[in-house]
Amino acid sequence: MKPVNVGILGLGTVGGGTYRVLMRNADEISRRAGRGIQVTHVAARDVKSSEFKELDKIKITQDAFEVVNDPEVDIVVELIGGYDPALELVLKAIEQGKHVVTANKALIAVHGNEIFSAASKKGVMVGFEAAVAGGIPIIKAIREGLAGNRISWLAGIINGTGNFILTEMQEKGRKFTDVLKEAQELGYAEADPSFDVEGIDAAHKLAILGSIAFGVPLQFEKVYTEGISHITREDVDYAEQLGYRIKHLGIARKADKGIELRVHPTLIPEKRLIANVNGVMNAVLVYADALGPTLYYGAGAGSEPTASAVVADIVDVTRTLTADSENRVPHLAFQASSLADTPVLNMDEVSTSYYLRLQAADEPGVIADITRILGDQKISIEAMIQKESKNIEQTASVILLTHQVLERNMNLAIQQIESLDSVSGKVCRIRMESLGS
Ligand code: HSE
């Protein structure tokens, strides 16, 4: 059978890895796909062909639209990133009847609904496994492996840079800014590292996971997003003393009134496997009704790990090229006509437990005032520690763990605690999840 022709847009970290993996494993890949897969056209800004074996035998251009318009190309692999010109390139490829594979989480999270609708009209496939958790086949696992289950919730460490920073702070006591610099030098961080530390990258990925877990359209704009830049070494230490680790989690949960989609630092019990996922590694814990909990762990970034997911999508597209489009695995796991309009809940309506840290005067009645405020908001305390402050005389750091409560009540309580004369500065609040069944 005639080989499938692939055009690659972008030969950077992921594009280069994809090219190398396709070349190196060509025989094994074609045995799996049922026909040959060959790269015939590449768009890249600067190509040093010596870096890539046999690149001199294929067409190379600096204009990505040339690849998209090449009638010989069957699958366009978009590895440029960002929205512009990625969106135009992808839509143009679809319009020309070409299948698309992309690693672009921002593009899928924000423009996925439009892209999938265009692809369905044209009967072409859009693969995006590499967009979430790099090489971990989490989309395939949820969309196909768990197709018989109702998913209750999932929680994932889906940004390697953020996890690397928290791990280094916890294990080596390193400073936030130093670790971020190292993550940038290692090539893990996004071009704009605020996407990593402010949780935007994780929110893109969570929007995608939430949609395929619950069968709702992509709604990136509704994901509650909080970064890790306010986490201090102190909080990491207190969490550890209380038997917890702080992880930057993306959480999607089916609640009674809707769906929770939230990204924020989270205290989780140190005995959970996911609490011990360190460095740049990613992991997603999924709770499904028939199977129970499963944990998917692996490299969430990097050249060949991400290429592994891109190539798997190319193989998938190749295998199903002859299948009728309605018999293919739907983009968002559920048939497009069966997507639900279940609302995404506002953060006020989310119920969770909390870690609170505040600075209070070390004098009689202060703790009583704080516990009265919490009690008035129906917030029950699970644990409390008080430590004399090393920095400010006659004050103490008070750390409280609470049971579950609506975020709305917690906001009111924090406002009132902050307005007490005996409390100085802001209350540091980190949400807490047991991640049990
Ligand atoms: N900046 C991302 C991360 C790269 O650190 O996880 C992979 O999406």
Ligand 1 touching residue 190 (CB < 6 A): yes
CATH of domain 4-135+303-338: 3.40.50.720
Angle (CA) 212 121 207, round 5°: 20
Among the atoms of ligand 1, which is closest to the Cα of residue 158? 6
User: Ligand 1 centre and the CA of 375: distance in Å?
Assistant: 41
Distance 61 CA to ligand 1 centre (A): 27
Per-residue pLDDT of the chain (437 residues; tens, 9 = 90+): 899 999 999 999 999 999 999 999 999 999 999 999 999 999 998 776 556 667 778 999 999 999 999 999 999 999 999 999 999 999 999 999 999 999 999 999 999 999 999 999 999 999 999 999 999 999 999 999 999 999 999 999 999 999 999 999 889 988 888 888 998 888 788 888 899 999 999 999 999 999 999 999 999 999 999 999 999 888 999 999 999 999 999 999 999 999 999 999 999 999 999 999 999 999 999 999 999 999 999 999 989 999 999 999 999 999 998 788 888 999 999 999 999 999 999 999 999 999 999 999 988 899 999 999 999 999 999 999 998 876 666 889 999 999 999 999 999 999 999 999 999 999 999 999 999 97
pLDDT for 337 equals 93
186 CA to middle of ligand 1, Å?
A: 11
Note the CATH number of domain 350-432.
3.30.70.260
pLDDT at 84: 96
Nearest to 316 by CA among 29, 78, 7, 9: 29
pLDDT value of residue 185: 86
Q: Among 98, 105, 205, 222, which one carries the catalytic annotation?
A: 205
- Whole-number Å distance between alpha carbons of 247 and 264: 8
Q: What is the enclosing helix (H) or strand (E) of 395? A: strand 395-402
Q: Could you give phi then psi for residue 140, rounded to 5 degrees? A: -65, -40
Residue owning tokens 């959970």: 272
Dihedrals phi, psi of 183, to nearest 5 degrees: -60, -35
Domains 4-135+303-338 and 141-298 are alike in CATH topology: no
160 lines ligand 1 (CB under 6 A): yes
- Does any ligand 1 atom lie closer than 6 A to the CB of residue 189? yes
373: three-class secondary structure by DSSP: helix
pLDDT of residue 175: 84
Residue 201 Cβ < 6 Å to ligand 1: yes
Angle between helices 160-172 and 233-241 (to 10 degrees): 70
Residue having the nearest C-alpha atom to atom 7 of ligand 1: 301
Instruction: Report the separation in Å between the CA atom of 11 and the middle of ligand 1, taken as the mean of its atom positions.
Output: 17
* Residues 248/265, Cβ–Cβ less than 8 Å: yes
CATH superfamily of 141-298: Dihydrodipicolinate Reductase; domain 2 (3.30.360.10)
Q: Is the CB of 102 under 6 A from ligand 1?
A: no
Give the atom of ligand 1 at the shortest distance from the alpha carbon of 196: 1
Give the number of the atom of ligand 1 that is nearest the alpha carbon of residue 105. Answer: 8
For ligand 1, mutation pick of 167, 201, 204, 282 (most atoms within 8 Å of CB): 201
First to last CA, the chain: 49
Is 205 part of the annotated catalytic residue set?
yes
The pLDDT, as a whole number, for residue 56 is 74
User: What is the structure's pLDDT at 49?
Assistant: 56
Distance (angstroms) between ligand 1 centre and the Cα of 154 equals: 19
The answer, yes or no, to whether any atom of ligand 1 lies below 6 A from the CB of 301, is yes
